[in-house]
Amino acid sequence: MRKGAVRLCATIGNMSAAPADVTVLRAILDAQRAAFRKKNPSYDDRIRALRALERAVIARKVEIAKVISDDFGGRAHEETLSLELFPLVNEIRHAARSLKRWMEPRFADTPWQFWPARSQVIYQPVGVVGILAAWNYPLFLSFGPLAGAIAAGDHAMLKPSELAPRAAELMAKIVAELYPPEYITVVTGDGEKAAEFTHLPFDHILFTGSERVGKEVMKAASENLTPVTLELGGKSPALIHSSYSIKTAAARILAAKLYNAGQTCVAPDYVLLPRDRQTEFVDAAKEAVAGMYPRLAANPDYTHIVNARHYERLKNLVEDARRKGSGVVEMNPASEALDESARVFPPTLLLNCSDEMTAMNEEIFGPVLPVVVYSTLDEAVEYINARPHPLSMYYFDNNRKRVRDVLARTLAGGVTVNDCVLHVGQPNLPFGGIGPSGMGQYHGFDGFVTFSKKKGVFLQSRWSPVSFLRPPYGPLARRILKFLIGG
C-alpha cells in the first residue's frame, strides 16, 4: 500500500501537508471514485486494511496518547487508552471477526404467491464516503467510523477537527503510511476547509459534532442529495429512582461525567433525583470526586478544557445559573488555587436549577452537573419527555419491571441502566441519536450497514405464476385476482 500512496501523492499532492482548496479536494474525490469503479475492495482487501489499522494504532499508542494530551493541554494517557484506543481496537477486531458473515447475502421470505421464486438482500459498498470527526475524542471518532467504512468496502476521505491539530496530523501520517490516497485520505485544516468538505458529492457523509454545525452539514449535503449520518449530542439525563443507592449512583455518574473533564457527547448532562435526597447526593458526589481526584491542579489524571473559549463558556454557564438562583457547589478537594490559564475547571454541581438557566438549555460539555429534583417517578419521566430527545439516557433502578416501564415511556438514542456511557462501547449495539441528538447509527454491524447499500434482489424461477397475470386478461386472470385479493 505504501508504494501506491507515494505514487498518487506525486500527482495530486500530500493533503496532510499542503492547504487544499475545493478544487484539490474534488480531485481527491474523483481519484477515489475512479479507483472504486475500477475495483471494489474484496473481503481479503478489507481484512488487510482493518488489520493494518489495528496494528498501526497499537504500535503508536504512546505517541497517540501524547499528542492528544498535548492538544488538550493535559489528558491522562490512561484515559486515551481506555476511552479511545480500547473501543477502537475492539471495534476493528469485531468487524474483522464478523465481516465474512456480514458480507453474505441474506435470504428473505418470499410470499407464497410468488413461489418458487426466491428473495435475498445483499450489501454493497456505496462508493466514497466522507467522515467529519469531533475534537473531544479525536482518534475514536475518526477511525471508529473509518473501520465501518473499510468493512463495508468503501473508499473514504476523513476530516478530523482542527481543534485537535496534533492528533489530526498524526492520523494523517498513519493513514498515508497505510493506504494509497485513492483509497483512504485524511484532510487536515481549518473550519473553512471542513465547510468545503461538506459540499463535495460524497456517497455518504458521517458527521460528529454539535447540532448547530450538523444542520449546516445536512444543508450542504442536500445540494448533492448525499445521505448523512449525524452524531450530535444534547442533554443526556441520569435518572435515579428513590430505591437506588445514592452513593453508588453518584460514584458512577461522577466518574462518567468527569471522563475527559465532561467533554463527552454522552456524558450525563443533568441528574434527576428524589426531592428528599439532594443533600445525600451532594455529599456522595463530593466523596466520589475526592476519591478520584484528591487534587486538581497539575493532576495528570484530570483532563484540561480544550481551549480558552470553552473554558470561558463554562464559567459563564455557572455564573448565569448563580445569578438565576442556583446553589453552586464547587468540588475542589484540596482547596487549591486553580490557574485559569491552565484551563483546569473544577467539578461543579448546580442545585435548584430552573428552565431559564442556560445550563438547562444547552449541552454543557464540561465538568458542570445540574441537579433537578422530582417528587414522583411520573414527574421525572415527564420532565425528560418534555425536552428534546437525548443522545443517551441513564436510569438507576434494580426493579426490572420499573426499568422496562421507564425504557418504554422515554425515547433516547441509547441507554445504560445502573451505570453511564458503557452502552457506547458495545460493538453489537447501534449507536446514534434521534431528532436533535442525531440521525442514523453506526458501530459494529450497524456501521457496516450505514456505509452499505442494502439491495433487495428477487430471483425469479424458471416457471412463474405471474405469467397468468399478463394481457390479454381472461377469466383465469380474474379468478386468480379474486382469490388473491378476496371479496
| Domains of the chain, each with CATH number or no CATH | 2-232+441-455 (3.40.605.10), 237-432 (3.40.309.10)
pLDDT tens digit sequence for 308-354: 999 999 999 999 999 999 999 999 999 999 989 999 999 999 999 99
Task: Give the pairing of strands 414-417 and 392-396.
Answer: parallel
What is residue 270's DSSP assignment? E
Per DSSP, helices labelled H in 39-85 are 43-59, 61-72, 77-80
pLDDT tens digit sequence for 85-110: 999 999 999 999 999 999 999 999 99
C-alpha cell at 408: 418504554
Q: Which residues are catalytic?
A: 231, 265
The pLDDT, as a whole number, for residue 278 is 96
**How many other CB atoms are there within 10 angstroms of residue 33's CB atom?**
17
CA distance to 194, 343, 415, per residue, from 394 (Å): 33, 29, 6
pLDDT tens digit sequence for 239-263: 999 999 999 999 999 999 999 999 9
Q: How many angstroms separate the CA atoms of 178 and 3, rounded?
A: 10
- pTM given for the model: 0.91
E strand map for 399-482: 414-417, 438-439, 452-459
Averaged pLDDT, groups of 10, the chain, 487 residues long: 36 38 90 96 97 98 98 96 97 98 95 93 97 97 98 98 96 97 95 91 96 95 96 95 98 98 97 97 98 96 96 97 97 94 97 95 96 98 97 98 98 98 95 95 96 96 88 90 86
Residue 395 · residue 403 · CB < 8 Å: yes
